[in-house]
Amino acid sequence: MEYPTELDKWAGSIVGTTSSLATKVHQPVEGGLGQRLATWWARNQLRVYPYLFIAPFFILFLIFLAYPVVEAFILSFMHEVGRESPRFVGLSNYTNLVQDPRFLMAVENTSKFAVGSVFVLSSLAFFLAIGVNSRLVPWLNLKSFYRLAFFVPLLTSAVVVSLMFGILYDYNSGLLNGIITTVLGAGHKVGWLKDPNVALWSILLLAIWQFTGINSLYFLAGLQNIPREIEEAATIDGAGRWTMLTQITLPMLRPIVLFVAVTAINGSYHLFAQPYLLTGGGPSDHTLTITMYLYQTGFSYFNLGYASAIGYALVIIIMIIAAVQLWLFGAFRED
């Protein structure tokens, strides 16, 4: 018969103490409220746990997105400059926008850029996707290479791209003017960023280089999803390339075309970094965009109420244009 040693007695006392503490912890707090809380938690803890896991997202969403959006909407009806006390002015900020020549110039510039993005950039992306999807690129590995090459410009920072094109556009030592000087002579230099008639289209050329590739990938994905049987049947029926393009390819790509058009418009009206770094809105506000004017008003002049009105005017413009696009593409029709 073995007798317990001192170590066994010590371990037993620890186990007994731990059990008693656990029992006390799990006992509901004396009193009606404590008992009700303990009973509620015991019954609903499995339902509460998922909400605890997703709570951080909603907390950050409320703090950094929902609250600023609501606060900016309220602020758009206020007059608040610098450290002045906010003063309610109703719709004055919005009515002043209609009479503000700089805001109207920004809307005009941004709209021109958006038109160029839809009709020039998106068209180039479409025909580029057709070329890659055709027999011009016969090997699958080569098609994959082009997909990667098209995606790389989008990964490049807007700051880096702007600095790179700033070097290309330099009036005295830029590559483009160097080529023009070599071919046509020194008297034919172009003020890519200094000429009011050219500066905005120079920024559009930058956007074409950076965003044509990703849009071509959207079109390429749509082209590869068109059933080959339909194209073969049309070919047997004697359809030419133009008929195939207009009667089969474009109608079946309507969702992709709508997506590209909407994203091009949305991106154009949010254009900021490229003109800010290349021209600062000049020359003579000919590259001033809505977002740049909002930035100047809010963070240079500290006119927070007016800047908030500019932001919500931009939201209204984008929503109207998006609704018109959806209507033109028949998104509201019941087929």
Rounded distance between C-alpha atoms, residue 147 and residue 141, angstroms? 10
Q: Is 81 helix (H, G, I), strand (E, B) or coil?
A: strand
Half-sphere exposure of 12 (CA within 13 A, CB side): 6
pLDDT value at residue 105: 96
pLDDT value at residue 12: 52
Nearest to 171 by CA among 158, 186, 161, 156: 186
pLDDT value at residue 69: 92
C-beta of residue 263 within 8 angstroms of C-beta of residue 114? no
Burial zone of 9 (CB within 10 Å; 0-12 exposed, 13-18 middle, 19+ buried): exposed
pLDDT value at residue 18: 45
Which residues on neighbouring strands pair with residue 87, listed in sequence order? 79
C-beta of residue 158 within 8 angstroms of C-beta of residue 274? yes
Q: What is the DSSP secondary-structure string of 224-242?
A: HTS-HHHHHHHHHTT--HH
Architecture category of domain 119-251 in CATH: Orthogonal Bundle (1.10)
Q: What is the pLDDT of residues 157-215, one digit of tens each?
A: 889 999 999 999 999 888 999 999 989 887 888 999 999 999 999 999 999 999 998 99
pTM of the predicted structure, to 2 decimals: 0.80
Question: Which portions of the chain are predicted below pLDDT 70?
Answer: 1-31, 331-335
pLDDT value at residue 334: 64
pLDDT value at residue 7: 47
Nearest to 112 by CA among 260, 263, 269: 269
Within 8 A by CB and 6+ apart from 247, the residues are 234, 239
